[in-house]
Amino acid sequence: MPAAAAAFVLACVPVAEARRWSFQTGVYTAKTSQQTTFKFKIVGHTAANHCGTRGTQHCFIALSDPRLDTTCTDGTSYSDDLFDVPSGFVSTTGSFSFHQAMSDSNPRIDFHAHAEGSKVSGTFREIDPRSGASGMLSCDSGAVTFTARRL
């Protein structure tokens, strides 16, 4: 092979490697910083997944929702299931995020995850307005971190 052709082939190798996904598909179990667990899966996108209207080739699908401890501005606290984590597309870099803005009595929700190999890490937070004895309260879980491993 001529030197120029060999150099061209070698130059193309990193491009081919860049197209590989940096994460693995399958079912994951996550443990949170509040010592709760939840499950989700990352799978190839199909029409049956219903995980969004645009996408790449993989979907994040929640199988269960974590419980979280939340403290309100009046000092009360409660433990409750987190909002339903929605299904959605995983970016080509392994990231998935969801944000719900506060309106009326809906909570503000932030959920971020990043998959690398057989591990997924991320954070979530829920700020929930609630009615209390002295009026409306803001109840906040604070940032809850999680690490998930593929089963």
Q: Provide the phi-psi class of 65: left if phi over 0, else alpha when psi is between -120 and 50, else beta.
A: beta
Decide: 113 and 99 in contact? Cβ < 8 Å: no
Which one is predicted more confidently, 19 or 143?
Answer: 143
- Give me the mean pLDDT over the 27-47 stretch: 92
Residue 64 in any domain: the answer is: yes
- Give me the mean pLDDT over the 33-55 stretch: 82
Overall number of domains in the chain = 1
Residue 52 in any domain: the answer is: yes
Q: Which two tokens stand for residue 53?
A: 């209207």
CATH number at residue 64: 2.40.128
What residue numbers bound the domain in which 129 lies? 21-150
Burial class (CB in 10 A: 0-12, 13-18, 19+), 134: exposed
* pLDDT at residue 20 tops 80: no
Q: Is the four-CA dihedral 102, 145, 143, 21 of positive or negative sign? A: negative
Residue 63 in any domain: the answer is: yes
Residue 87 in any domain: the answer is: yes
Residue 40 in any domain: the answer is: yes
